[in-house]
């Protein structure tokens, strides 16, 4: 039929046009679409988790849009500039972290914010990107796998900001920053014996940290993780309630907007760190597995892209960003399901909250820039 | 794997990266697999467990208190009802400054300043989202006053509730009792499951004794709540299916009390510290149950303020004191009919045996005389006339002949010295003395001895002997029924509110006093008939012109002992609290008794026949006459409203 033919050709033309546009913008089609899908699912879930708050939904969509713009803009930046900017961003981030330590605003009992006059800014978010990029920058010109000296330098480069952030205290972000740097080192080909010795070293470090470094509330989280029932209305409450929410969702869930745990506010932080439990309660196992598969696709695609990148810096940086995203997802889902202790790591693109969303999208923008198939490859 | 090389090998590095990326991807799949298996564990394997937990989380069971049964008089007139009332309730979490709010409410006069600490203590024990009543039963004026200023008091609301209401206020309060806040002691006694949501419980009288009938069973409703425990309408967009079990209302009670009689008695006793009980001899039904002064039971349902409570408890006339079952008085001459029957039973005398009364009784070997109330004496009196004239000498003599233990054993068969078994708690047993009693009651050896002289006073109902007005009425009903005895009762029937079915309660018969010769009843009743009808009867003044025949017996109980050598005084000459108590027992109609009554007036301005008998007459009239007959009789008397008949000189009966 002629009409159909016209229609299908129009569709084809639209698709081709879109593909060309994405290509021109150095955006990876599958990853871009997958990210948009995650954002859409996240917004739908957030609406329910926020108790049908249109205000929160609007704010979240605004941030997602802002994140998209950041991503598209960063995707246009040539990889060379990104590479050269990496150490600069790292130094600026470190200085700001030190500033926060002395002057930062205190919000929610933690010193995380730096007031720049026009905008309140969380330097630790910058470090989520700056640390892996700086590590990749440091290692890309040296022979790989890295030598012991390089490892020590990189170790310091990761350790200092991590400790500063953990002291704020923000264990979740510290973990992600350390993971970002650590992934670079691992991807750079860190020898197995070093990995084993680091693991061996972690045990005494953990003991020292437990006694001297961890805050009481952080210790409490670990203790509660080991035995949630010990304090069912105190710190164990989160874990117990989120497991009840997920478990009572069953295979098919209670239905959108019908999760009693979430809607009746039994589930704490239902719209932020524990939003994964809302998905589980209202959409059931099917919903959760769908969300996980979507995330796995994003991670897998990002990892694939990084493997196709042309230079070491791009490979290490983008691979690290992909794997950090994986850490995000695993730590959040693990904590909400009771596999891991409660650390404040949001579920990317779904949890309500501004800076993390923008940082993530920016990370994907950098990744797309580094891995884009350019006609003229810049080394 | 490439060994550490000093120069960069881009191809090897790229391969190394790919290797690591594959390992990372595998690790990712393992990690996510872990999460998914955890989800399967939570959502599939343990689904039932968590589904149960989530139910418990969101459904709270809230009790629905049952409606308390009504209390009606024997003809269905409501005496205790449930009235909608408005109360002031405060919800802590909605009040910014509780102190300021309470002070503000005190300022507009809705609560007392002195009560604020109590209210705050009550508030402390409650959850922040509970509405706690801080003032019950607002009057319309108070309601209006608060309504005009309610914007000043966010978190304080007026709520309608059902509370106990006694439409006749003070009337028959001692029989009905009252409800008040559940105390710690109540909590031990009551099945608290049924009292969830209830704040009041029976405290006395029928309200207390029939609590299990009146209260009913609490229902419940399931409420959807959020984590703060606050009630919400629905989860998301779906209204929840919630269970509700309706409460079972308490049963209504029909009292035996006839409000016409009750109120006539109350009217007649007004202003006195007195009591009156009327009993139907055919079944033990209490037709009137009056103790004055009384108090308004509505105060207790509303919650007494401290000054109100003190006013009640510190009133020297003791309005809360139930004189009918807790007041004990020397029965005085009202025991004489029973005493006469005892003498017949033990064969001490025959009815026709006569005694010559010179105005005093002398016991052989004792110089001190026991005086008759009539200084000149009654001359020759047989048993019937001795009752009719209330000749003390005659009864001194027969008491002396019988001895205290025989008196004790016989009068006990009329219910003296023991509880009558009335269906409300708190009854006193009075005192029917015996040698055994005296041995137990006194510590000193000398005091434990029973002296013959002790017995003589017992003959006229004085000395150690005392009895409650209820015991006297019960004994009178026993005489009227010629030995037929029933436990006095205040509740005649129970109505199931749900089915409307009325269950009549069976009277509880008690063993009759033993009589060798049933003629003994005729003598006792005949003597009492003469009291009211013979020209020499002591109460003929009060019983004159009755449209039916009355049988009665007056009594005057000495509070203040007049020394033997002292001149008798007129009651009016003594301080009020030392005056004698005036007693009168009666039943009517004499030949077919339908009502027996006992009246006791403490420290009365006149004696039994002069002061108590007209009151008894009023009660009998009200019960036995039609309202028209009563009105006609009142109209005839109107021109000369009977002043408390002037006591005839020296009468103490």
Task: Name the residue with tokens 């609301």.
Answer: B157
Domain count, chain B: 3
Q: Is residue B305 over pLDDT 90?
A: no
Measured between CB atoms, does B8 come within 8 Å of chain A?
A: yes
Residues in chain B with CB shorter than 8 Å from the CB of A300 are 25, 28
Q: Is residue B650 part of a domain?
A: no
Q: Is residue A58 part of a domain?
A: yes
Q: Is residue A378 part of a domain?
A: no
Q: Is residue B376 part of a domain?
A: yes
User: What's the ipTM?
Assistant: 0.88
Q: What is the pLDDT of residue B306?
A: 78
pLDDT in tens, B243-273: 788 889 999 999 999 999 999 999 999 999 9
CA angle A198, A201, A205 (to 5 degrees): 125
Q: What is the mean pLDDT of residues B396-400?
A: 92
pLDDT in tens, A28-40: 889 999 999 999 9
Positive or negative: CA dihedral A60, A65, A70, A72: positive
Task: Name the residue with tokens 């932080």.
Answer: A269
Q: What is the pLDDT of residue A158?
A: 92
CB A60 within 8 A of CB A46: yes
**Quick one: which H or E segment has residue B217?**
strand B216-217
Q: Is residue A233 over pLDDT 90?
A: no
What span, in angstroms and rounded, lies between the C-alpha atoms of B498 and B69?
Answer: 11
Q: What is the pLDDT of residue B110?
A: 85
Phi, psi of B324 (to 5 degrees): -65, -45
Measured between CB atoms, does A216 come within 8 Å of chain B?
A: no
A365 and A257 fall within a common domain: yes
Measured between CB atoms, does A258 come within 8 Å of chain B?
A: yes
What span, in angstroms and rounded, lies between the C-alpha atoms of B196 and B393?
Answer: 63
Token pair belonging to B45: 């394997």
B49 and B148 fall within a common domain: no
Contact A323 B36 (CB under 8 A): no
Quote the domain boundaries for residue A141: 83-214
A208 and A237 fall within a common domain: no
Q: Is residue A241 part of a domain?
A: yes
Nearest residue to B325 (alpha-carbon basis) of B211, B514, B488: B488
B49 and B105 fall within a common domain: no
Q: Is residue B281 part of a domain?
A: yes
Token pair belonging to A257: 């907007």
What span, in angstroms and rounded, lies between the C-alpha atoms of B196 and B521?
Answer: 55
Nearest residue to B163 (alpha-carbon basis) of B82, B280, B253, B54: B82
Cis peptide before B391 (omega within 30 of 0): no
Q: What is the mean pLDDT of residues B342-352?
A: 93
Interface probe, candidates A244, A300, A335, chain B, greatest B C-beta count within 10 A:
A244
Q: Is residue B65 part of a domain?
A: no
Contact B2 A189 (CB under 8 A): yes
| CATH number of the structural domain spanning residue B393 | 3.40.710.10
Phi, psi of A229 (to 5 degrees): -70, -15
Domain boundary among A196, A214, A232: A214
Residues in chain B with CB shorter than 8 Å from the CB of A337 are 35, 38-39, 42
pLDDT-derived band at B516, boundaries 50, 70, 90: very high
pLDDT in tens, A197-222: 877 887 888 888 777 777 777 777 67
pLDDT in tens, A80-128: 999 999 999 999 999 988 888 777 555 544 556 665 544 556 788 889 9
Q: Is residue B644 part of a domain?
A: no
Q: Which of A122-136, B44-58, B217-231, B403-417 has the lowest mean pLDDT?
A: B217-231
A282 and A347 fall within a common domain: yes
Q: Is residue B228 over pLDDT 60?
A: yes
A186 and A114 fall within a common domain: yes
What span, in angstroms and rounded, lies between the C-alpha atoms of A127 and B411?
Answer: 104
A99 and A184 fall within a common domain: yes
Q: Is residue B1 over pLDDT 50?
A: no
B95 and B19 fall within a common domain: no
pLDDT in tens, A339-372: 888 877 889 999 987 678 888 999 999 999 998 8
Q: Is residue A286 part of a domain?
A: yes
Q: What is the pLDDT of residue A270?
A: 86
A228 and A367 fall within a common domain: yes
Please give the share of chain A, as a percent, with pLDDT higher than 70.
Answer: 87
Nearest residue to B66 (alpha-carbon basis) of B224, B200, B206: B200
What span, in angstroms and rounded, lies between the C-alpha atoms of B266 and B276?
Answer: 8
Domain boundary among A214, A241, A276: A214
Q: What is the pLDDT of residue A377?
A: 44
What span, in angstroms and rounded, lies between the C-alpha atoms of B409 and B513?
Answer: 10
Q: What is the mean pLDDT of residues B204-232?
A: 82
- Share the mean pLDDT of chain B: 86
pLDDT in tens, A66-92: 899 999 999 999 999 999 999 999 999
A137 and A39 fall within a common domain: no
A265 and A176 fall within a common domain: no
B450 and B533 fall within a common domain: yes
What span, in angstroms and rounded, lies between the C-alpha atoms of B457 and B489?
Answer: 32
Q: Is residue A15 part of a domain?
A: no
Domain boundary among A197, A214, A231: A214
CB B395 within 8 A of CB B456: no
B24 and B147 fall within a common domain: no
Residues in chain A with CB shorter than 8 Å from the CB of B26 are none
pLDDT in tens, B40-99: 999 999 998 888 888 777 766 677 888 999 999 999 999 999 988 888 888 777 788 888
Q: Is residue A3 part of a domain?
A: no
pLDDT-derived band at A228, boundaries 50, 70, 90: low
B147 and B44 fall within a common domain: no
Contact B32 A257 (CB under 8 A): no
pLDDT in tens, B457-482: 999 999 899 999 999 999 999 999 99
What do you get for the CA distance between the two ends of chain A, in Å?
51
Phi, psi of A237 (to 5 degrees): -55, -45
Q: Is residue B153 over pLDDT 90?
A: no
Residues in chain A with CB shorter than 8 Å from the CB of B224 are 264
Indicate the burial class of A203 (C-beta count within 10 angstroms; 0-12, 13-18, 19 or more). exposed
Annotated catalytic sites of B, by residue? 333
Please give the share of chain B, as a percent, with pLDDT higher than 70.
Answer: 90
pLDDT in tens, A306-316: 988 888 899 99
Q: Who contacts B430 (Cβ-Cβ below 8 Å, separation ≥6)?
A: B328, B416, B417, B465, B466, B467, B468, B471
B372 and B295 fall within a common domain: yes
A185 and A253 fall within a common domain: no
DSSP-H helix ranges across chain A: 2-24, 29-49, 54-76, 79-103, 123-140, 148-166, 171-187, 192-208, 216-226, 236-249, 260-263, 275-307, 312-337, 354-371
Q: What is the pLDDT of residue B154?
A: 81
Count of all residues that appear for chain A in the document? 379
Contact A339 B34 (CB under 8 A): yes
What span, in angstroms and rounded, lies between the C-alpha atoms of B603 and B592?
Answer: 33
Nearest residue to B92 (alpha-carbon basis) of B142, B136, B143, B157: B157
B399 and B531 fall within a common domain: yes
A209 and A222 fall within a common domain: no
CB A119 within 8 A of CB A126: no
B339 and B473 fall within a common domain: yes
Q: Is residue B515 part of a domain?
A: yes
Q: Is residue B498 part of a domain?
A: yes
Q: What is the pLDDT of residue A112?
A: 61
What span, in angstroms and rounded, lies between the C-alpha atoms of B153 and B89?
Answer: 11
Quote the domain boundaries for residue B156: 84-165
Token pair belonging to B590: 């004499």
A254 and A356 fall within a common domain: yes
Tell me what percent of chain B is helix, strand and coil, each rounded to the nearest 5. Answer: 40, 20, 40
Measured between CB atoms, does A308 come within 8 Å of chain B?
A: no
Q: Is residue A302 part of a domain?
A: yes
Domain count, chain A: 2
Q: Which of A229-238, A359-368, B15-24, B608-617 has the lowest mean pLDDT?
A: A229-238
A199 and A119 fall within a common domain: yes
Q: Which of residues 5-64 of A touch B (CB under 8 A)?
A: 48, 52
Residues in chain B with CB shorter than 8 Å from the CB of A274 are none
Q: Is residue B375 over pLDDT 50?
A: yes
B535 and B633 fall within a common domain: yes
Measured between CB atoms, does B15 come within 8 Å of chain A?
A: no
Indicate the burial class of B134 (C-beta count within 10 angstroms; 0-12, 13-18, 19 or more). buried
Q: Is residue A2 part of a domain?
A: no
pLDDT in tens, B417-462: 999 999 999 999 999 999 999 999 888 888 888 888 889 999 999 9
Q: Which of B322-326, B514-518, B605-609 has the lowest mean pLDDT?
A: B605-609
Q: Which of residues 224-243 of B touch A (CB under 8 A)?
A: 224-228, 232, 235-238
What span, in angstroms and rounded, lies between the C-alpha atoms of B623 and B546?
Answer: 13
What span, in angstroms and rounded, lies between the C-alpha atoms of B88 and B159?
Answer: 6
Q: What is the pLDDT of residue B38?
A: 93
Which residues on adjacent β-strands are paired with residue B588?
B595
Q: What is the mean pLDDT of residues B160-172?
A: 87
CB pairs below 8 Å between A and B: how many? Answer: 172
Residues in chain B with CB shorter than 8 Å from the CB of A294 are none
Q: What is the pLDDT of residue B565?
A: 45
Q: What is the pLDDT of residue A294?
A: 95
DSSP-H helix ranges across B108-256: 116-124, 140-149, 173-176, 184-189, 205-209, 211-215
- Share the mean pLDDT of chain A: 84
What angle, rounded to 10 degrees, do the helices at B336-345 and B519-533 form?
150
Token pair belonging to A305: 């892209």
Q: Is residue B304 part of a domain?
A: yes
Tell me the nearest-neighbour CA distance from A34 into chain B, angstroms.
Answer: 18
B377 and B513 fall within a common domain: yes
What span, in angstroms and rounded, lies between the C-alpha atoms of B382 and B391?
Answer: 10
Q: What is the pLDDT of residue A303?
A: 92
Q: What is the pLDDT of residue B4?
A: 45
What span, in angstroms and rounded, lies between the C-alpha atoms of B308 and B180?
Answer: 14
B309 and B367 fall within a common domain: yes
pLDDT-derived band at A379, boundaries 50, 70, 90: very low
Count of all residues that appear for chain B in the document? 653
């Amino acid at each position: 039929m002629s009409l159909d033919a016209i229609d299908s050709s129009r569709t084809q033309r639209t698709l081709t046009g879109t593909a060309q546009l994405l290509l021109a913008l150095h955006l990876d089609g599958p990853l871009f679409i997958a990210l948009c899908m995650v954002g859409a699912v996240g917004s739908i879930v957030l609406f329910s988790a926020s108790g049908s708050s249109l205000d929160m939904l609007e704010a979240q969509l605004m941030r997602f849009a802002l994140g998209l713009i950041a991503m598209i803009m960063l995707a246009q930046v040539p990889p060379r500039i990104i590479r050269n900017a990496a150490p600069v961003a790292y130094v600026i981030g470190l200085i700001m972290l030190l500033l926060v330590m002395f002057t930062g605003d205190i919000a929610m009992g933690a010193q995380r914010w730096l007031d720049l006059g026009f905008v309140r800014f969380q330097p630790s978010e910058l470090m989520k990107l700056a640390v892996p990029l700086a590590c990749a920058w440091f290692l890309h010109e040296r022979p790989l796998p890295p030598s012991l000296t390089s490892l020590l330098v990189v170790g310091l480069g990761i350790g200092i900001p991590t400790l500063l952030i953990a002291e704020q205290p923000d264990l979740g972000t510290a973990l992600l920053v350390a993971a970002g740097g650590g992934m670079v080192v691992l991807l750079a080909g860190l020898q197995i014996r070093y990995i084993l010795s680091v693991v061996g070293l972690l045990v005494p470090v953990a003991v020292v940290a437990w006694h001297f470094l961890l805050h009481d509330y952080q210790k409490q989280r670990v203790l509660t993780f080991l035995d949630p029932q010990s304090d069912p209305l105190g710190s164990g409450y989160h874990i117990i309630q989120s497991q009840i929410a997920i478990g009572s969702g069953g295979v098919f869930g209670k239905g959108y907007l019908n999760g009693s745990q979430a809607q009746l506010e039994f589930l704490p932080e239902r719209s932020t760190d524990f939003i994964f439990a809302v998905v589980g309660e209202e959409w059931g196992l099917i919903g959760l597995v769908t969300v996980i598969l979507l995330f796995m696709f994003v991670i897998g695609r990002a990892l694939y892209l990084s493997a196709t990148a042309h230079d070491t810096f791009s490979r290490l940086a983008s691979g690290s960003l992909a794997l950090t995203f994986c850490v995000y997802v695993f730590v959040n889902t693990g904590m909400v399901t009771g596999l891991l202790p409660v650390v404040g790591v949001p579920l990317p693109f779904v949890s309500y909250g501004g800076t993390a969303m923008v940082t993530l999208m920016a990370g994907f923008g950098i990744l797309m820039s580094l891995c884009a198939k350019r006609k003229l490859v810049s080394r | 794997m490439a060994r550490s090389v000093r120069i960069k090998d881009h191809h090897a590095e790229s391969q190394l990266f790919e290797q690591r990326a594959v390992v990372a991807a595998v690790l990712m799949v393992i990690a996510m697999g872990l999460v998914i298996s955890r989800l399967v564990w939570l959502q599939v394997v343990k689904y039932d467990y968590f589904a149960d937990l989530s139910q418990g989380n969101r459904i709270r069971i809230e009790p629905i208190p049952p409606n308390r049964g009504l209390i009606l008089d024997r003809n269905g007139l409501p005496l205790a009802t449930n009235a909608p009332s408005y109360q002031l309730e405060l919800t802590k979490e909605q009040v910014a400054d509780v102190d300021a709010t309470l002070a503000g409410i005190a300022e507009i006069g809705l609560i007392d300043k002195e009560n604020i600490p109590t209210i705050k203590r009550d508030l402390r024990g409650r959850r922040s989202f509970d509405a706690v009543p801080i003032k019950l039963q607002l009057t319309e004026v108070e309601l209006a006053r608060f309504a005009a200023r309610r914007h000043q008091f966010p978190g304080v609301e007026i709520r309608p509730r059902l509370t106990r209401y006694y439409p006749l206020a003070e009337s028959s309060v001692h029989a009905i009792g009252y409800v008040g806040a559940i105390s710690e002691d109540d909590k031990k006694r009551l099945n608290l499951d049924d009292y969830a949501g209830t704040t009041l419980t029976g405290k006395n009288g029928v309200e207390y004794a029939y609590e299990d009938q009146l209260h009913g069973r609490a229902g419940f409703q399931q409420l959807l709540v959020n984590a703060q425990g606050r009630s919400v309408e629905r989860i998301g967009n779906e209204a929840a299916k919630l269970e509700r079990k309706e409460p079972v209302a308490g049963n209504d009670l029909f009292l035996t009390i006839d409000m016409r009689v009750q109120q006539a008695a109350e009217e007649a006793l007004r202003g006195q510290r007195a009591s009156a009980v009327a009993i139907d001899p055919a079944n033990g039904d209490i037709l009137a149950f009056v103790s004055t002064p009384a108090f308004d039971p509505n105060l207790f349902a509303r919650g007494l303020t401290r000054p109100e409570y003190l006013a009640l408890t510190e009133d020297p006339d003791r309005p809360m004191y139930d004189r009918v079952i807790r007041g004990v008085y020397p029965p005085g001459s009202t025991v004489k009919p029973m005493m006469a029957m005892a003498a017949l039973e033990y064969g001490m005398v025959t009815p026709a045996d006569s005694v010559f009364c010179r105005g005093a009784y002398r016991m052989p070997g004792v110089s001190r005389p026991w005086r008759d109330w009539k200084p000149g004496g009654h001359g020759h009196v047989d048993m019937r006339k001795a009752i009719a004239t209330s000749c003390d000498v005659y009864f001194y003599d027969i008491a002396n002949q019988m001895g205290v233990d025989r008196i004790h054993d016989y009068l006990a068969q009329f219910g003296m010295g023991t509880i009558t078994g009335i269906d409300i708690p708190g009854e006193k047993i009075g005192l029917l003395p015996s040698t055994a009693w005296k041995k137990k009651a006194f510590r000193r050896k000398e005091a434990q001895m029973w002296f013959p002289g002790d017995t003589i006073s017992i003959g006229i109902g004085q000395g150690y002997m005392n009895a409650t007005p209820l015991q006297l009425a019960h004994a009178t009903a026993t005489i009227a029924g010629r030995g037929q005895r029933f436990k006095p009762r205040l509740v005649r029937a129970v109505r199931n509110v749900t089915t409307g079915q009325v269950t009549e309660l069976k009277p509880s018969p008690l063993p009759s006093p033993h009589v060798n010769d049933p003629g003994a009843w005729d003598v006792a009743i005949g003597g009492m008939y003469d009291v009211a009808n013979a020209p020499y009867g002591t109460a003929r003044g009060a019983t004159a012109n009755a449209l039916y025949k009355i049988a009665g017996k007056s009594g005057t109980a000495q509070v203040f002992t007049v020394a033997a050598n002292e001149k008798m005084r007129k009651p009016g000459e003594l301080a009020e609290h030392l005056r004698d108590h005036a007693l009168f027992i009666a039943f009517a109609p004499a030949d077919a008794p339908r009502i027996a009554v006992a009246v006791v007036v403490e420290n009365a301005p006149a004696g039994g026949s002069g002061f108590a008998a007209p009151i008894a007459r009023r009660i009998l009239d009200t019960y036995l006459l039609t309202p028209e007959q009563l009105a006609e009789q009142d109209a005839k008397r109107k021109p000369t409203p009977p002043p408390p008949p002037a006591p005839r000189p020296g009468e103490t009966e």
